[in-house]
Structure 1
Amino acid sequence: MGLFSDAAYDLFCIPPILRLLGRIYYQKPHLPTNNYNNNNDDNFVIRRHVDSVLLGVAFFGTVIGQLVFGRLGDRIGRRRVYGLSLMVMVLSALGCGFSICTSRSCVLVSLGFFRYLLGVGIGGDYPLSATIMSEFANKRTRGSFIAAVFSMQGFGILASSIVTMVVCGIFNAASHPNPKEKTPTEADVAWRLILMLGAIPAAMTYYWRMMMPETARYTALVELNVQQATKDMEKVLDVSLSPIAEDESLTLPQDPPSYPLFSKQFLRLHGRDLFGCSASWFLVDVVFYSSNLFQSQVYGKYIGNKNKANVYKDAIHVALLPTIVAICSTIPGYWFTVYFIDRIGRRKIQMMGFLIMALVYFAIGIPYTSYWQGHINEVSAELFPARFRSTCHGISGATGKVGPIIGAVGFGWASHGQTEHPKAVKILLVILGGVCLLGLAVTYFFTPETNGRSLEENEE
């Protein structure tokens, strides 16, 4: 539920929210005309920059959260930090909805502040969820369990779109806005409600996170307390103490390694793996989040004309496409991985993913101006030693979240609204295809296979 709420719902509910904010605080009293996307309109350009900042500030917070909470997870324990990251997410999600005031500048500054804090909490949940799941799972099903945790992102994306459409549909039915009138004042409540609803699923998990024992691997291998680790495993597996105590896998090494993080020995033993995980995560996030800039340009004509919609239908239009994509491809793709990851391996599936994405982007991008426009990471939780596992996963994830800053935000700033231009869209789509091929190469040359081995075997 952490990945459902933070990495998906809270991040992916923002595009329709930005549309609502634009209609409430930036547009003229009347609905947009055909010149709505006119790049000579200073008001439009300013709004584009504000959109980019509100998108980027959450990702920047996520980078900070990944690094800070990932390191804390290795220093003071996964369980202790897990609840803290959750509380940051819940409180900041509620703060995003309140956003203190109603004037344009105050609302945007307040929303940006709470989105940053939300990003910090989101960043904390990434390494902790994956690390905890990997350390509780066994080697035969570990890949499926970690993939199942991350698959909740697909359901979170779907939920954010459905909640947006339901809330806006209710407000639309209640207000019956006149297309010739200005945006109704009730719309200012709609976007706040959508953001605040994201806190509910995360808050519901707090009790179970606090009742969860510390992972036995952390207790035994980092705190060097085998007796407590044995007791914790007894709770988890619900078996008597003696079979666990006799398990040789719980014995400590005679001379535990003592090299610090980022020492020469760490870089020699794990630097290649850390680079492979970080680089591939960075590249996939460039593509994953950048694609949100172009979906409406490629497919928008098939699901209605947004320029003729009122404020609520406009937001529903923006949320409709992610709903279709989540149902038809995102969720099935996640569960394909859940089913096959322990059968054919992590490395092959990751390479398949990059290859398919590259082919799709080339197929859309290369003929874009002549056809489309005219017609309309889990390996990082398994590779590293227990005392560095959460930190390294956080570093990999933080590097990944630099991707959307460069992709979704950087492309948006660089284009200044030029993504509406067919040739600009074509070039950027082809670039994203090339990024996918680079990700495939990084996976092939730098990412080892972790399938079928215990975490300790992977470390060796």
Structure 2
Amino acid sequence: MAAGDLAILQALDSARTQWYHLTAIIIAGMGFFTDAYDLFCISTVSKLLGRLYYFDPASSTPGKLPVHVNNWVIGVALVGTLAGQLFFGLLGDKFGRKRVYGITLILMAICAIGSGLSFGCTAKSVMSTLCFFRFWLGFGIGGDYPLSATIMSEYANKKTRGAFIAAVFAMQGVGIIFAGLVSTILSSIFLSAYPAVPYSLDRVLSTQPEADYLWRIVLMLGALPALLTWYWRMKMPETGRYTALIEGNAKQAAADMGRVLNIEIQTDQDRLGQFKASNDYKLFSMEFWQRHGMHLIGTMSTWFLLDIAFYSQNLAQKDIFPNMGLTDPAKSVNAIKEMFQISKAMLVVALFGTFPGYWFTVFFIEKIGRFYIQLIGFFMMSVFMLVIGVNYADLRDTNKHNTGLFALLYGLTFFFANFGPNSTTFVLPAELFPTRVRSTCHAMSAAAGKAGALIAAFGVQGYTLDSHTHKIRRAMLILAFTNMLGFCCTFMVTETKGRSLEEISGEDEGVHQGEMEMSEAQTEGRSVVM
């Protein structure tokens, strides 16, 4: 008896696409919408924070976050995300996907509000409070990665599973767009309500006190989608695979999945015992490493390398925009106008570079496959970043009218990140590993990615903060190299399209091996009797 012979698994693998699948995509995807908004909206307000809290009246330049403060304000949520991924990923395998799924949203909502209410009498105390809440905000965000991916992979049928998981992740692109859109709209409203007086150096360098409300509102609005989604997450049943294969309750799994998929599923409780016995090896056991070790190293290394480039791109946008002619120099605009320009530029890049790539993956992942999309994405990112790095001085030279070409090349790196490894590194760990450790292995892969993001936030981003040509050029060349490493590491994973999760993970093989051993034992027994 193969795992695929279990009625519940057959039903899930062959179920026609219906409204419940779309509902699951929206419910899980709204978590990623919230994640992206919360993680990337900080880029739209970080320069405003510097002008509000680090303005020196004796200086002739606008206030600016010190490098170490900027790194922590930007990066502390990523530290929390890494910790949350490991924590909630392990809980997802131990206690079930659904039981811990709603906790992440509540934590995200509370900490988004707390971030906006960051208090203190000094700049240091305000930034410290902000970092505290953003760490725990990231902790909740971290839980969304393994749980959403695992739930979607275990709900989906085998023909559209990759597209469904990618669609959940594509909501990250929508969240990035809304981070730019909301910041653009709110800063525009504040500009209209508190217009700048006629030009004067003092007025440009100082900041309207009303701007202190602006950044807080932007951060607090991240709580809204989390709160709106929580009820529907709690209504979702536990995945049929977890209920059947981990809890061993075929009757409950058949009832839950039969209800949401509007089909009748047979109960085959007696067959589950053999399946569980055939796959009863522990994470990090020798058998696990023989079966899945190479895949785990592959998913961790590619996600790690991808996020160095992806988060370097996203978090450093605000510092590269002036060189692309998308924003004015800080000395020539007041603080709210500067935020408006940064947010607008971020919105444009997201609309035309970031967003399309996600949905190209959704539409083509079942045709091209995860493996080739990842290879193509890493390779093209490396090529475009190499071109930018080698020609950076010429591309940023406004006298040569190359800023449009710079913007195009920069946007294409975003496109191929998302029509490439940024999507596939999320999909593959949800498919390659056995049900018992799927959430944990996805969490380990995602945490490796966030380790790469921390390098971007605390290392690579520092190269761009002063906008010096040689530093940005060097950063682009480093990122081109890391992408080529990601290209090479992709060969440690395998294609998963069109196959059941049990076939991909090898859980079927264990069952088949058990059947052969049982058959041999029965044959030997009959020979002895004869």
Q: TM-score, normalised by structure 2?
A: 0.80
Shift of 1:139: 0.5
- Choose the corresponding residue for 1:3, options 9, 32, 44: 32
CA distance in 2, matches of 1:85, 1:219: 21
User: Contact (CA 8 Å) 2:428, 2:496: kept in 1 or not?
Assistant: yes
5+ residue gaps, structure 2, are 1-29, 404-425, 507-530
Counterpart secondary structure, 2:46: helix
Counterpart position of 2:289: 267
Query: What does the per-residue CA deviation read over 1:338-361, in whole Å, with 9 as the maximum and x for residues that have no partner?
Result: 001011110111111111111110
Counterpart position of 1:206: 230
Shift of 1:254: 6.4
Query: What does the per-residue CA deviation read over 1:13-47, in whole Å, with 9 as the maximum and x for residues that have no partner?
Result: 011221111010012359x85x66xxxxxx85x61
**Aligned AA (1:189):** Y
Counterpart position of 1:388: 437
Shift of 1:302: 2.2
2:469 aligned with 1:422, yes or no? yes
Query: What does the per-residue CA deviation read over 1:339-386, in whole Å, with 9 as the maximum and x for residues that have no partner?
Result: 010111101111111111111101211111233345452100001111
**Aligned AA (2:68):** H
User: Contact (CA 8 Å) 1:282, 1:403: kept in 2 or not?
Assistant: yes
- Choose the corresponding residue for 2:152, options 133, 140, 145: 133
Q: Per the alignment, do residues 369 and 50 of structure 1 end up closer, same or farther by CA in structure 2, a change over 3 Å counting?
A: same
Q: Per the alignment, do residues 68 and 304 of structure 1 end up closer, same or farther by CA in structure 2, a change over 3 Å counting?
A: closer
Percent of paired sites with the same residue: 45
Counterpart position of 2:334: 310
**Aligned AA (2:440):** T
Counterparts of 1:191-270 in structure 2 under 5 Å? 191-239=215-263, 241=264, 243-245=265-267, 253=275, 255-270=277-292
Counterparts of 1:109-128 in structure 2 under 5 Å? 109-128=128-147
Query: What does the per-residue CA deviation read over 1:410-442, in whole Å, with 9 as the maximum and x for residues that have no partner?
Result: 1244x4945x11111111101111111111111
User: Contact (CA 8 Å) 2:249, 2:269: kept in 1 or not?
Assistant: no
CA distance in 2, matches of 1:249, 1:154: 42
Q: Per the alignment, do residues 247 and 224 of structure 1 end up closer, same or farther by CA in structure 2, a change over 3 Å counting?
A: closer
- Choose the corresponding residue for 2:195, options 176, 187, 197: 176
Counterparts of 1:268-347 in structure 2 under 5 Å? 268-292=290-314, 294-296=316-318, 298-300=320-322, 301-307=324-330, 308-347=332-371
Shift of 1:297: 5.3
Counterpart position of 1:23: 51
Q: How many residues are treated as equivalent by the alignment?
A: 445
User: Contact (CA 8 Å) 2:51, 2:335: kept in 1 or not?
Assistant: yes
User: Contact (CA 8 Å) 1:306, 1:317: kept in 2 or not?
Assistant: no
Counterpart secondary structure, 1:359: helix
CA distance in 2, matches of 1:117, 1:147: 26
After superposition, the CA RMSD in angstroms is 2.1
Counterpart position of 1:379: 428
2:126 aligned with 1:107, yes or no? yes
Q: Which moved more, 1:13-22 or 1:127-136?
A: 13-22
**Aligned AA (2:33):** F
CA distance in 2, matches of 1:304, 1:106: 30
Q: TM-score, normalised by structure 1?
A: 0.92
Counterpart position of 2:417: none
User: Contact (CA 8 Å) 2:316, 2:464: kept in 1 or not?
Assistant: no
Counterpart position of 1:451: 497
User: Contact (CA 8 Å) 1:383, 1:450: kept in 2 or not?
Assistant: yes
User: Contact (CA 8 Å) 2:464, 2:471: kept in 1 or not?
Assistant: no
CA distance in 2, matches of 1:252, 1:125: 32
- Choose the corresponding residue for 1:440, options 487, 505, 511: 487
CA distance in 1, matches of 2:271, 2:484: 40
User: Contact (CA 8 Å) 1:135, 1:217: kept in 2 or not?
Assistant: yes
Counterpart position of 2:104: 85
CA distance in 2, matches of 1:172, 1:116: 31
Q: Which moved more, 1:65-74 or 1:92-101?
A: 92-101
User: Contact (CA 8 Å) 2:312, 2:453: kept in 1 or not?
Assistant: yes
Shift of 1:458: 0.6
Counterpart secondary structure, 1:255: helix
User: Contact (CA 8 Å) 2:307, 2:449: kept in 1 or not?
Assistant: yes
Higher relative contact order (CA 8 A, sep 6+): 1
Q: Per the alignment, do residues 417 and 325 of structure 1 end up closer, same or farther by CA in structure 2, a change over 3 Å counting?
A: closer
Shift of 1:257: 1.8
**Aligned AA (1:187):** A
**Aligned AA (1:451):** K
Q: Which moved more, 1:446-455 or 1:298-307?
A: 298-307
Counterpart position of 2:42: 14
CA distance in 2, matches of 1:279, 1:373: 36
User: Contact (CA 8 Å) 1:17, 1:315: kept in 2 or not?
Assistant: yes
- Choose the corresponding residue for 1:352, options 376, 382, 391: 376
Shift of 1:296: 4.7
User: Contact (CA 8 Å) 2:281, 2:288: kept in 1 or not?
Assistant: yes
